[in-house]
Amino acid sequence: MRTARIVEECAAYYHITSRVVDRRYVFDDAEKERVRKTMRAVEGFTGCEIRTYAILSNHWHILLYVPDKQEITDAELGRRLRLLYDSTVVDNVMGHLAGLRESGQMEAAEAFKAQYTGRMYRLSEFGKMFKQRVSYSYNRRHVRKGTLWEERFGSVLMGGSGVLRATAAYIDLNAVRAGLVKDPKDYRFSGYGEAVGGSVVARAGLEEVMREGEADSGWGSAASKYRELLYLVGEVRGQAETGSAVRPGFSYEAVQAVLDQKGRLSLGEVLRCRVRYFTDGAILGSREFVEEAFGRHRRHFGAKRQSGARSMVGAEWGELYVARQLRVDVIRVPVPS
């Protein structure tokens, strides 16, 4: 029995992810670029906003903001359709809509228009559309049939101070955990890598993450703060005469030892590990946020459950809590490359 998806009726943040069937490594750099372009096109059409992302060889992660639904003019509908469809399709759609309006069939025109606008500002539509379009493109070019994805996309509802920054960093460190790069700025199929490369839209996404209610200070300030979060850790380089690391950093063996002894990692250390809270926790955020969201989505949890917020183990999580108290393989140290 699959876990029910927690979806808000109002604007909200989600960490969403999906994996290729059989966990096969099918996306080389050229495929990753196609996936990235599809992702941005679906973002533009749906009106959902990508704060950061990571596209790996067999899976992807996105920190997604789904705004409240907005009214879409006919002209805006046409612009968005052109992000996904060729000019012939768009011209036919817009011509039919214009014809209905010119003939005075306003209700029919709005119903027809809703076939497209109804797919905007919705988490489920973003995920479904993105996966379907990637599957269709990949299958057509590789002459294959069948599903490309292991299962439906996973999602975790996010909210509260600190959670967006931690989740964004966790996503942008994916390539580091996978051993593809040492420095996350060098992985161009990620929000941070794209932003460092000069992408305006990628920078805007991370600026929003780092703002969290603070005054807008631009990319320079946001980049500096975000890099500090990403670089709380790094490979330990050498030892002083006392035996301590010359530059404190991430040691696979030391981190595993802490976990084996049921100790607590720093936030910087745990973000370099694989953490199921970010993918399977259902709701992740401040205690207040988790409790309030739990109350709104009470039907998705056991009848005997009295409260929503659960403490997170294994690290110094600060004020972060989760709705599902996971017990197996919560934190796994990646195998060093």
pLDDT at res. 238: 47
Residue at 224 is within a domain: yes
Pair (253, 173) in one structural domain: yes
* Number of CB atoms found within 10 A of residue 152's CB: 13
pLDDT at res. 237: 46
The answer on pLDDT for 310 being more than 70 is yes
Give the residue with greater pLDDT, 253 vs 10.
10
Residue at 2 is within a domain: no
Pair (104, 62) in one structural domain: no
**Highest mean pLDDT pick, 65-74, 215-224, 260-269:** 65-74
Give the residue with greater pLDDT, 162 vs 51.
51
Report the C-alpha gap between 308 and 301 in whole angstroms.
Answer: 9
Residue at 80 is within a domain: yes
Residue at 1 is within a domain: no
**Average pLDDT over the chain, rounded to whole?**
91
pLDDT at res. 261: 87
Rounded average pLDDT over 167-178: 95
Pair (35, 149) in one structural domain: yes
38 contacts: CB under 8 Å, gap ≥ 6: 130, 133, 134, 137
Pair (133, 65) in one structural domain: yes
Number of domains present in the structure of the chain:
2
The answer on pLDDT for 309 being more than 90 is yes
pTM above 0.75, yes or no: yes
Pair (113, 205) in one structural domain: no
pLDDT single digits (tens) 103-152: 999 999 999 999 999 999 999 999 999 999 999 999 999 999 988 999 99
pLDDT at res. 247: 45
CATH of the domain at 273: 3.30.70.1290
Give the residue with greater pLDDT, 218 vs 192.
192
pLDDT at res. 161: 84
Structural domain range at position 130? 12-69+124-332
Pair (87, 169) in one structural domain: no
The answer on pLDDT for 2 being more than 70 is no
CA torsion 194-211-50-110 (nearest 10°) is -140
Report the C-alpha gap between 158 and 114 in whole angstroms.
Answer: 29
